[in-house]
Amino acid sequence: MDKQLLSVAVVGHANTGKTSLIRTLLRDASFGQIADKAGTTRHVEGAEIRVDNNQSLVIYDTPGLEDSINLLSVLDAEPSIEYQDGIDRLLAFIKRENDFPELNQELKVLKALLSNDILFYVIDVREPILGKYRDELKILSYAAKPIIPVLNFIEAGQENIRAWQTQLARLNLHAFVSFDSVVFRFSDELKIYQKMQTLLAHREQQLDALITQRKQQWQERESAAQQLIATLLVEAAACRFKADNNEKSIGLASEQLQSAIRELEKQTLNQLLALYQFKQHDIDQYDLPIQQGQWELDLFSSDNLQEFGVKATSNFVKGAGIGVAVDLVAAGMTLGAAAVAGGVMGVLWGVKQRYYDEIHAKVKGHRYLCADDLTLQVLWMRQLSLLIALQQRGHASVAKMSLADVKIDKIELPKQWSKWLKNARQHPQWLISNKSEQPLLREKKQLLIDQVVNSLIVISHEKSEK
């Protein structure tokens, strides 16, 4: 069966963010070239978004229409009587392409106009409305293709949006969409496809499939990110180190603890970056407080408290994050479950496996150190901030962004927060590096992770409703 291709040409004036738009739609920061100069894109470059094995959306990036005034004057030089319609006018110009070497780039755009199903006319709304944009739209209208004006950079050009909308309406272009390839919103992307459905009614099913696929991919990615964050929280809370009851040993264990939690956070960070298709060198150009795969601001720095609005009430500010010493009571010692489960051997074995470490530590006068509540609170908030930043980050922007720009308002800790931490701390075996001999209880761990994920889903819904 032949593949059904739906093709889009992304056109517009120079430096309006055509390549940026495509990068963001493709989630590919390596597509094309971006620079704050006119004429950065010099090829017509395409990329395919695969809907399924039989259907695809192909998006073509085109050079900017830098000299539309000249182009229009050439196109309109011949009297209308010579041509049946605008398409004839464009074809006649294409035939004479060698006569206009200075319009070589514009010629590529005209070819793209005629060979694609629909046009995205990208407008940088930060720019003032000039007559030459009307000229550009007049040229586009010669191709007789549906046009979706895409108002780009809406965050930075708020004050001009209304004027642009009015201007487009005067040109009978009502099906415009607002988009920001820097501050990305998934709902805006969906609106583009929905507008395409309106203008290409005969392709409705194909676009329906595309929308479904994009939504599914977005949800899968978000769900996977939530699982990673939940796993990090559970494992960080379960992380513990044994120390003798003296200052030196506690200091050493504290350092080991901090290092282990940093490593866990680093792993999660890299996985989140990979999940959202950001590479390390992509993120380096942003002002995210991440360098070489690590956060610039150390998790255990007291500055974190201010950054995330946490009140310092514990030894966190002493640079410790030492936290809780686990004793038998904190370990939640009960024999009930083991006794019910089986015979004497089973009970003894179960007790040995489950409580041996704690009992041994108690007898020998050792203590276990694990991350305290504040450390975990900051860890939690950092991951939430990062997730929001990654979700709102277009793959195009070269502008700097910092977590301070991420509007997360005040993140309330989930109600079950303390219960989660207590539960995780009772199960050191949930972190492999603890080398605990206790029963793995993977399902119980997964149950806790699921609870944390559910809480993240609630936070995500609240955020999207706002």
Half-sphere exposure of 455 (CA within 13 A, CB side): 20
In angstroms, rounded to a whole number, what is the distance separating the alpha carbons of residues 421 and 55? 47
Classify the phi-psi angles of 39: left when phi > 0, otherwise alpha if psi is within -120 to 50, otherwise beta: left
How far apart are CB 56 and other proteins at their closest, in Å?
8
Of 53 and 187, CB closest to other proteins? 53
- In the three-class reduction of DSSP (H, G, I as helix; E, B as strand; rest coil), residue 325 is classed as strand
How far apart are CB 441 and other proteins at their closest, in Å?
8
Of 15 and 377, CB closest to other proteins? 15
Of 131 and 365, CB closest to other proteins? 131
How far apart are CB 392 and other proteins at their closest, in Å?
19
Residue 210, class by beta-carbon neighbours within 10 Å (0-12 exposed, 13-18 middle, 19+ buried)? buried
In angstroms, rounded to a whole number, what is the distance separating the alpha carbons of residues 398 and 38? 16
Q: Token pair 């699982």 is at which residue?
A: 227
Q: How many residues does the chain have?
A: 466
Of 127 and 298, CB closest to other proteins? 127
Contacts of 309-312 with CB under 8 Å at 24 or more apart are 309/410, 310/374, 310/377, 310/378, 310/381, 312/374
How far apart are CB 42 and other proteins at their closest, in Å?
4
How far apart are CB 155 and other proteins at their closest, in Å?
17
- In the three-class reduction of DSSP (H, G, I as helix; E, B as strand; rest coil), residue 299 is classed as coil
How far apart are CB 259 and other proteins at their closest, in Å?
19
In angstroms, rounded to a whole number, what is the distance separating the alpha carbons of residues 347 and 426? 19
For 197-215, give the DSSP string.
HHH-GGGHHHHHHHHHHHH
Of 180 and 235, CB closest to other proteins? 235
How far apart are CB 242 and other proteins at their closest, in Å?
21
Of 130 and 312, CB closest to other proteins? 130
How far apart are CB 83 and other proteins at their closest, in Å?
18
Of 175 and 275, CB closest to other proteins? 275
How far apart are CB 296 and other proteins at their closest, in Å?
22
In angstroms, rounded to a whole number, what is the distance separating the alpha carbons of residues 271 and 293? 10
How far apart are CB 218 and other proteins at their closest, in Å?
11
Residues 6+ apart with CB under 8 A from 185: 392
Q: Which two tokens stand for residue 139?
A: 């040229």
Of 179 and 308, CB closest to other proteins? 179
How far apart are CB 131 and other proteins at their closest, in Å?
3
Beta strands 294-295; 290-291: pairing state: antiparallel
Q: Token pair 């379960």 is at which residue?
A: 238
Rg (CA), the chain: 29
Of 74 and 413, CB closest to other proteins? 74
Of 68 and 254, CB closest to other proteins? 68
Beta strands 177-178; 147-152: pairing state: parallel
For 244-267, give the DSSP string.
-SSHHHHHHHHHHHHHHHHHHHHH
For 424-461, give the DSSP string.
HHT-GGGSGGG---S---HHHHHHHHHHHHHHHHHHHH
Angle between helices 131-142 and 68-75 in degrees, nearest 10 = 50
Of 312 and 341, CB closest to other proteins? 341
